[in-house]
Amino acid sequence: MNAKNLIIAGCLLVSLDARAQEVNLSSLDAEPNRVHVTTGAEYGFVAGAGYSRVLPFLDRKLVVTGEVMLPWAALDVSDYRLRLGALVPIVGPGRWKLAGSIAWVLRGTESTINTMTDVGVDAALLGGFYDSRWFVAGEVGADVALTTKITHNDAYRETSHPDAMDGWYAGPGANLRAGVQAGVAFARYDVTMRVGQVRDVAGEAPLLPFYGSLALGARW
């Protein structure tokens, strides 16, 4: 494991993350601290853990979020995703609510042909019925790779393309998603799930054209 991977692994171990996109919007006035663990499928079989903090924001509540996610099917700390963002309720004083979220994304991967590091942004709209004990909502979102640094390895140069260009690539891609999420609360614990479909910016299905996750959270 090289120094970069050690640093990333260290960050992952100490990272406190949360998952603002699976929050019961009816519970924001209660406990301000939340942690969770999650697993599922999203660009691979993934597992993550996180922390979020509910903060006052003008006359609303703001859920500030950090998240770390690793693919676990072939565990490799070169593959990771870090997300830092916020969710804010937009409208809905009753139990029907609409919220928006935006997050900065940093992710990396090392494959058979290259190493990639990406800076992106993820924006989503969530709307649905939020009871204090359960919720069900729809979700639409866009995950945009703003710029990706690609470094090709020797194997790719020797086997395929000696003149492949290393560097930062602007706007190499984006994925859109639409799905549903639901959750139930038991005392100070939450169980939430998300399922949906993914399409790339060209309208094509990526290799894994769906996402789904199950999360267990605690509040205090």
Partner 1 sequence: MLNRNTSRRRFARTCFVIALALGACLDAEDPGNLVPKTVVEDPALPQISIAGTKLHAEAFGDPAAPLIIVLHGGPGSDYRAMLPLRALADDGYRVVFWDQRGTGLSQRHDSSTYALPGYLEDLRLVIEHYTTTPDQPIMFIGQSWGAMFATWFINEYGDYNGRVRGAILSEPGAFTKAQLDVYLDELMAAIPLTAEQFNDALWSRQFMSAADHARADYLGGLLAFGGRPSEVQDPNNKAPFWRSGTVVANSVFALVETHGFDFTTNLAAFPRKVLFLRGALNTVVTLDHQTKLAASYLNAEIVTIPNVGHEMIWETADEYLAHTRAYFQQIGFTGGLQ
Residues engaged in binding partner 1 (CB under 8 A): 43-45, 71, 73-74, 76, 79, 81, 107, 109-114, 116, 118, 120, 143, 145, 147-148, 150, 155-156, 158-161, 163-165, 167-175, 200-202, 204, 206-208
Q: How far is the CB of 171 from partner 1 (least distance, A)?
A: 8
Start-to-end C-alpha separation, the chain: 37
Reading the block at residue 152, the tokens are 């090709």
CA-CA distances (angstroms) from residue 25 to 14, 47, 56, 135? 27, 24, 14, 8
Whole-number Å distance between alpha carbons of 44 and 168: 24
Whole-number Å distance between alpha carbons of 22 and 91: 17
Closer residue to partner 1, CB minimum distance, 24 or 109: 109
Closer residue to partner 1, CB minimum distance, 58 or 74: 74
Q: How far is the CB of 30 from partner 1 (least distance, A)?
A: 33
Q: How far is the CB of 213 from partner 1 (least distance, A)?
A: 15
- Position of tokens 């601290």? 33
In terms of Cα–Cα distance, which of 148, 138, 101, 139 is closest to 122?
Answer: 101
Whole-number Å distance between alpha carbons of 59 and 103: 21
- Position of tokens 């997050």? 103
Whole-number Å distance between alpha carbons of 81 and 70: 7
Closer residue to partner 1, CB minimum distance, 98 or 150: 150
Closer residue to partner 1, CB minimum distance, 138 or 172: 172
CB 49 within 8 A of CB 17: yes
Q: How far is the CB of 48 from partner 1 (least distance, A)?
A: 14
Other Cβ atoms closer than 10 A to 147: 14
Closer residue to partner 1, CB minimum distance, 101 or 117: 117
Q: How far is the CB of 114 from partner 1 (least distance, A)?
A: 8
Q: How far is the CB of 53 from partner 1 (least distance, A)?
A: 26
Closer residue to partner 1, CB minimum distance, 187 or 202: 202
